[in-house]
Amino acid sequence: MTIYDNLELCSNWHHSRDKLPCFIGSTTAPLAVMTRLGILASHRGSNFQAIIDACCNGTLNAEPVVAISNNSGSVALARARTANIPAVHISNVTHPQAAAEDLAILQALETHQVDLVITAGYMKKLGPQTLQRYQGRIINVHPSLLPRHGGHGMYGMRVHQAVLDKGDKETGISVHWVEADYDTGPVIAQKIIAVAADDTAESLAAKVLAEEHDLLVATLATLTQSALPESRP
């Protein structure tokens, strides 16, 4: 299976802002206002795909309204375009100054009236303007049991190798609120996964990924049923 697999989505997913997804052909409006999601991802965007699928099949009462990536060739942006979700490349290539890059991200989120931001495999810190405007409305998913194996440089296989190097008997996934530093915000939900004696970094990565999507979607389901702080300009 390649990283381009699973790009097939619910047809006519995101027609326009005046049409709600997954109610195509229905004469009945949804019972609750959908939470508008903004997703930031740097590479494959498999968590983004899980969110798209959960919104499309009704698991989430939410709508992905914009995808932002610092990587113009990311699969995450390809997934967004396949689903007719606005896909935006914002990086130090498009905006060489950090403050301008931060402002561009904030403006993209505000333009699309995002309620809740998800950083899923996004390899950069968010800037102070975005963090202030969306304080308490940004979540991240991390492939370890935070606070263990978090922080600068701890991503991908580095995390799983660190688990093995420390001799941990358990690893897992954490969904947490985003703050200014890497992986420091309060934890919202965690899933514990046992580490086997013969595990490798690659086998741990596979175990974690198998559970990561479900935990993220379940956490989003809870958050989107709760009252979020006012987010729209």
Report the alpha-carbon distance of residue 29 to residue 18 in Å, rounded: 12
**Nearest 10 degrees: Cα torsion 158, 142, 66, 214:** 120
Tokens matching residue 1 = 């299976």
Which position among 142, 160, 176, 213 bears the catalytic label? 142
Q: Which residue in 106, 160, 158, 98 sits closest to 130, CA to CA?
A: 106
CA distance 174 to 172: 7
Specify whether 142 is catalytic.
yes
Q: Are 168 and 195 in contact (CB under 8 A)?
A: yes
Contact criterion met (CB below 8 Å) for 65 and 108: no
Give the active site residues. 142
